Amino acid sequence: MWKFANPIRHQIPATRWPTAEEAARSLLFQPIRIGGSELISRTWVPAMVPWRATEDGFVTEANIDWYRRFAAGQPGALVVEATGVRDIPSGPLLRIGDDRFIPGLRQLVKAVREASEGRTRLFVQIIDFLAVRRRPEHQKYFKRFLRITDRHRQALAESSNDQNWLGREEAEVRAFLASASDEVLEHILDERELESLQFGYRERVTDTELAHVRQLPEVLPGIFAAAAGRAREAGFDGVELHYAHAYTMASFLSARNTRTDGYGGRREERVRLPLEVYHAVRDCVGEDYIVGARFLSDEVIERGNRIGDATYFGVEFARAGLDFLSISKGGKFEDAQQPKVGQAVYPYTGKSGYECMPTTLSDEAGPFGRNVPQVAAIKQAVNAAGFSTPVVASGGITTFEQAEGILRRGEADLAGLARQALADPDWFLKVQLGRGAEIRRCTYTNYCEALDQAHKQVTCKLWDRFELDAPEITLAADGRRRLLPPTWKL
């Protein structure tokens, strides 16, 4: 994990929790309209992947239990984890790329409705991603993966001053490179080949020499629209288009997107596909269905988007008719740490990853609400352009005072609590009942995120060893952790 050079350890902020009467009067617990629907409160649980789907992307009982547990806490909105829009294998991540996924998703919706007594609105985050391969073994890379071309022979001839390389067989070139020093390899391999060797092969939206990447603007609107149609059929209240972090749509928005086909370069061109996807989705699901997007206030990588890009995108999304804008930050591949051999690069290990899920080992600003100024700038730009599209803030929101302050100051319209809701899904109910002192406070040290990185079932260190031998407890695959937070007894 990436760390600041001279980190400061921040404390979990002490706070005064409201009485039930104060909570009832608060802005946080007032209803808010989103599109054609109303949320009971301005509280929001952003998407979190729990690694509980089947290998084929189907909903499991464990998925249903997970969302049922969040729903029991009755947040205003709950967003189901990033769910793949394509019908391709992607491990135990939920998928919505075919009608066969609808029955499972329908059960999940039903469980949330029942557990929240119909009070929590349920959205599903829909995502497309490009290929990311594991970091290969050194020998295997040169034996099997690297495509040998005359450019390699030329580079070898030049670096060794030996023209015989120009006519050498592929096997000889492979054998030489497999045992060459890093210094030699840096001269022979190009930047992408070196990256594939050191990090694993990773596709970019700018790889337009690949037909399937070139054709993304033709195919993605239809794929997202069909996925959103299925979400509607399964009973979700709406969809959240995943335009954030390290994935396809965020990469189209990125300042690093240099495509020359009208879908890259200037901001107007980078936002074109996200808008076309939105319009296709809207055409499919109709005007009365909630369609929002999650995108980044800042990519936190060199040559990446900054707040000026984000405010521009926010206004364009609002103008197009999106029903909500949920703002995240960072979470990119470009600054991720090198994975171990056999593992895939994880986009939350660099500085941009820190900004996405900040921990208490921080700089002076600390981890709490450090994305709020950027969220406020986006909301201000959207409102100044004449739109009232609700804006969701997230990132280190943990106390009632903090969330209420953000809304009162007009910095955001809704407060998103991801890890704090994972630590204690009853946060919302406890605050409303004037029992905030009973909340399990998230420590923001990212044990949960480490499990996500290892593709293990996500749990929280605050509850996963609690009463492990109680009869109704389901254990994680490792047998040492409980899969769900304890039930709160009123």
Ligand X SMILES: Cc1cc2nc3c(=O)[nH]c(=O)nc-3n(C[C@H](O)[C@H](O)[C@H](O)COP(=O)(O)O)c2cc1C
Single-letter amino acid code for the residue at 88: I
Q: Which residues lie below 8 Å from residue 272, measured CB to CB, with a gap of 6+?
A: 217, 262, 263
Among 10, 18, 35, 46, the residue binding ligand X under the rule CB under 6 A is 46
Identify which of 31, 112, 117, 40 has the alpha carbon closest to the alpha carbon of residue 79: 112
Site for ligand SF4 in 419-438 (CB under 6 A): 419, 422-423
> Segment near ligand SF4 (CB under 6 A), from 156-164, 248-256, 455-463, 466-474?
455-463
- Min separation Cβ 170 and ligand X, Å: 42
Which one of ligand X, ligand SF4, none is in contact with 461 (Cβ closer than 5 to 8 A by kind)?
Answer: ligand SF4
The pair of structure tokens assigned to 151 is 């450019």
Contacts with ligand SF4 by CB under 6 A: the residue count is 13
Nearer to ligand X, 272 or 329 (CB): 329
Which one of ligand X, ligand SF4, none is in contact with 458 (Cβ closer than 5 to 8 A by kind)?
Answer: ligand X
Identify which of 290, 443, 281, 250 has the alpha carbon closest to the alpha carbon of residue 361: 443
> Segment near ligand X (CB under 6 A), from 35-43, 132-140, 153-161, 389-397?
389-397
- Min separation Cβ 439 and ligand SF4, Å: 12
CB 369 within 8 A of CB 406: yes
Single-letter amino acid code for the residue at 13: P
- Min separation Cβ 104 and ligand SF4, Å: 26
> Segment near ligand X (CB under 6 A), from 146-154, 317-325, 433-441, 447-455?
447-455
CA distance 382 to 376: 10
- Min separation Cβ 422 and ligand SF4, Å: 4
CA distance 306 to 300: 8
Site for ligand X in 48-67 (CB under 6 A): 48-49
Nearer to ligand SF4, 312 or 444 (CB): 444
Which string of b and e fits 100-138 if b means at least 16 CB within 10 Å?
ebbebbbbbbebbbebbeeebbbbbbbbbbbebeebbee
Q: What are phi and psi of 270, to 5 degrees?
A: -70, -30
Residue 352 touching ligand X (CB under 6 A) = no
The gap between the terminal CA atoms of the chain, to the nearest Å, is 38
Which one of ligand X, ligand SF4, none is in contact with 460 (Cβ closer than 5 to 8 A by kind)?
Answer: ligand SF4
Question: Binding string to ligand X for residues 286 to 305, with x set by CB under 6 A, is what?
Answer: --------x-----------
Among 111, 284, 415, 448, the residue binding ligand SF4 under the rule CB under 6 A is 448
CB 127 within 8 A of CB 82: yes
Among 353, 396, 436, 485, the residue binding ligand X under the rule CB under 6 A is 396
Q: What's the CA dihedral at 133, 139, 145, 149 to 10 degrees?
A: 140
CA distance 186 to 200: 16
Residue 461 touching ligand SF4 (CB under 6 A) = yes
Residue 244 touching ligand X (CB under 6 A) = yes
Using DSSP's 3-state secondary structure scheme, residue 166 falls into helix
Residue 462 touching ligand SF4 (CB under 6 A) = yes
Please name the residue that has the structure tokens 């930050």. Answer: 329
Identify which of 414, 426, 444, 430 has the alpha carbon closest to the alpha carbon of residue 41: 414
> Segment near ligand SF4 (CB under 6 A), from 31-39, 60-68, 159-167, 441-449?
441-449
- Min separation Cβ 485 and ligand SF4, Å: 10
Interface ranges with ligand SF4 (CB under 6 A): 419, 422-423, 442-448, 460-462
